[in-house]
Chain A
Amino acid sequence: QLQLQESGPRLVKPSESLSLTCSVSGDSISNSRYYWGWIRQSPGKGLDWIGTIYYNGITYYDPSLERRLTISIDTSKNQFSLDLRSVTAADTGVYYCARCPATICFFDSWGQGTRVTVSS
């Protein structure tokens, strides 16, 4: 049974970095059949794709976030991470990690999500 679990600070100050980790159990993150992704949901809004990473470290980012974003993978820990720099209140929301089949990315498994607030 695949499980994904997000972790990280719930409160981040403006201009600082938002760092989250997704811990995966029930499947190897080195499985070449899948991408691993981050999706954000701003308060009361819809879903926005942030970025995706493959087991070999290849990353794909939303162009609007690319300058501030790094997604990385740690196969030894079966985890992948998100680092979003220079955050503002607009980065407040629920952050989900999820899995999708490589090259045909619909998300078949999701974490429960973690709520992050950007505020001083």
Chain B
Amino acid sequence: DIVMTQSPDSLAVSLGERATIDCKSSQSLLDSSNNKNYLAWYQQKAGQPPRLLIYWASTRESGVPDRFSGSGSGTDFTLTISSLQAEDVAVYYCQQYYNTPRLTFGGGTTVELK
């Protein structure tokens, strides 16, 4: 199985500041035939189901604010919240789908307000 490792486990960010979350995979998620990285990001607020934010490592889902961006390729990926808002307090997960149908998630990163 592909192992997904997120860092940090948690971070505290002031309103309006940048938040950066890293996700590393145990093998490359890049398909050279289509140059796409099979990596998604989710946001989970307390008491709610996860919400898809980003897929193909950098494509925002419809309705997701543009302060959320994804980057990276191969085995190293980053989710950036450019200017943290109060409603962004949540746990964020990465997920590989390179090995569909065998899917794996990262352990999650908790974003809190400083």
Contact = CB atoms under 8 A, between A and B. Distances in A.
A76 interface: no
A60 B102 contact: yes
Q: Which of B42, B100, B103 counts the most chain A CB atoms within 10 A?
A: B103
Contacts of B107: 46
A80 interface: no
Contacts, number: 55
Interface size on B, as a range, is: 20 to 34
> How would you classify the secondary structure of chain B's contact residues: helix, strand, loop or mixed?
loop
Contacts of B49: 96, 98, 110-113
Given A46-B105, A49-B105, A105-B100, A110 B38 contact: no
A104 B100 contact: yes
Nearest to B54: A106
Interface in B70-114: 93, 95, 97, 100-108
Interface residues of A, number: 22
Interface of A: 35, 37, 46-49, 52, 60, 62, 96, 98, 100, 103-108, 110-113
B105 A60 contact: no
